[in-house]
Amino acid sequence: MLDMALTTGVMHVTVGNVAMWLIGLFFIYLAIRKNYEPLLLIPIGFGILIVNLPLTFLMEQGRGLLWRFYHYGLEWEIIPPLIFLGLGAMTDFGPMIANPKTLILGAGAQFGVYVAFFGALILGFNVREACSIGIIGGADGPTTIYTTVRLSPHLLGATAIAAYSYMSLVPIIQPPIMRFLTTEKERKIVMKQLRPVSKREKILFPLVTVMVICLIVPASAPLMAMFMLGNLFKECGGVRRLSDAAANELMNIVTILLGISVGATMSAEHFLKLQVICVFVMGIVAFAFSTAAGILLAKFMNLFSTEKINPLIGSAGVSAVPMAARVSQAMGSEADPKNFLLMHAMGPNVAGVIGTVVAAGVFIALAG
């Protein structure tokens, strides 16, 4: 009788398993009730739940179903680049092309990445771990996952959850920092409407960008190449089917596999550690510094420019697209209802995605 009971999972449940069930259910609750990144938090929460059911062996090396998703999807570096293909097919670089200065803001908002990197080193993480933690500050989920799998896969669950949690909390984290660092007068700066961007410019952009960035930071090529290929699909207009497939069906399929694979790495023995709390703390430090750096850089640029930039768009340089741009818009219209910053903020926002990929490429090249 006892032998039979021991073949069930019930007899093997640990306190750690129960804690992870609660964490998994909490993510599912946040996704469904609070609408926090539901596309990711539901599969991640579900992955956490099932991988912590004893004797299911879902993550057993060479055998488990979720291990296969994880191994062939993430360790083989297939899923994050495919996500970037879809992102490229959904991204309009027009606002950035119309106002190339915003590229500088997108790059400047990567400052938090390096602050968190050094912070993590001080907290005792090794260089590879610090790179994975720092990249959370870029606010880009697939890039965080890609970097962590390459450099410190044991932290994957923590860094991915931190990145996606903070991205969904952008409307809560950023406004106090934005208010603190700007004056009422600055928040009221009205930026003139962006010039229209021609189709030719939009087609040339992905081609030129992929060549320039991959020549300078070759390690960013897998993400950057797919990102720009997706964008070329979108902008050239001749391959609507491919563009739609990348942005919709393919994106949805890889999102499911990504979410459940990330959740599956979060077994009790890997996740319930002090180290994970440190990852979350450094993640929010990275976010806050990236937000602040973008704003301060915009203010600095205003010292030398006749055409003033509303510093509120600087915070959109963290690449949480389009949440960070929406926050800029909301704060700008709060200061002056006639002020529309959304499209201006999309410039640094999409530039931030490129900036984070470049930062990841640098980390992988140096520490990988």
Partner 1 sequence: MKVSEVTAPMAGKIIDVKVEVGDTVSEDDELLILEAMKMEMPIVAPTSGKVKEIRCGKGDSVGADDVLVVIE
Residues at the site binding partner 1, with contacts judged by CB under 8 A: 193-194, 196, 322, 325-326, 329, 333, 337-338, 340, 342-343, 346
What are the φ and ψ backbone dihedral angles of 122, each rounded to 5 degrees? -65, -35
* Interacting residues of 107 by C-beta distance below 8 A, sequence separation 6+: 317, 351, 355, 358
CB of 332 to partner 1, least distance (A): 10
Task: Supply the minimum distance, in Å, between the C-beta of residue 324 and partner 1.
Answer: 12
Q: Considering the complex, what minimum distance in angstroms separates the CB of residue 95 from partner 1?
A: 9
Residue 188, classified by CB atoms within 10 Å of its CB into exposed (0-12), middle (13-18) or buried (19+), is: middle
What value does the CA radius of gyration of the chain take, rounded to a whole number of Å?
A: 21
**Residue 65 vs 197, nearer CB to partner 1:** 197
- Cβ closest to partner 1, residue 20 vs residue 325: 325
Least separation in angstroms between residue 226's CB and partner 1 is 23
Question: Of 25 and 330, which CB lies nearer to partner 1 in the complex structure?
Answer: 330
Residue-wise burial string across 307-331, b where 16 or more C-beta atoms lie within 10 A, e elsewhere: eebbbbbbbbbbbbbbbbbbbbbbb
Query: Which C-beta is closer to partner 1: that of 35 or that of 252?
Result: 35
Q: What is the rounded CA–CA span in Å between residue 290 and residue 132?
A: 16
* C-alpha 146, offset from chain centre: 10
Least Å from the CB of residue 181 to partner 1:
23
What is the spatial distance between Cα 316 and Cα 344, in angstroms, rounded to a whole number?
A: 10
Q: Which is nearer to partner 1, 134 or 175 (CB)?
A: 175
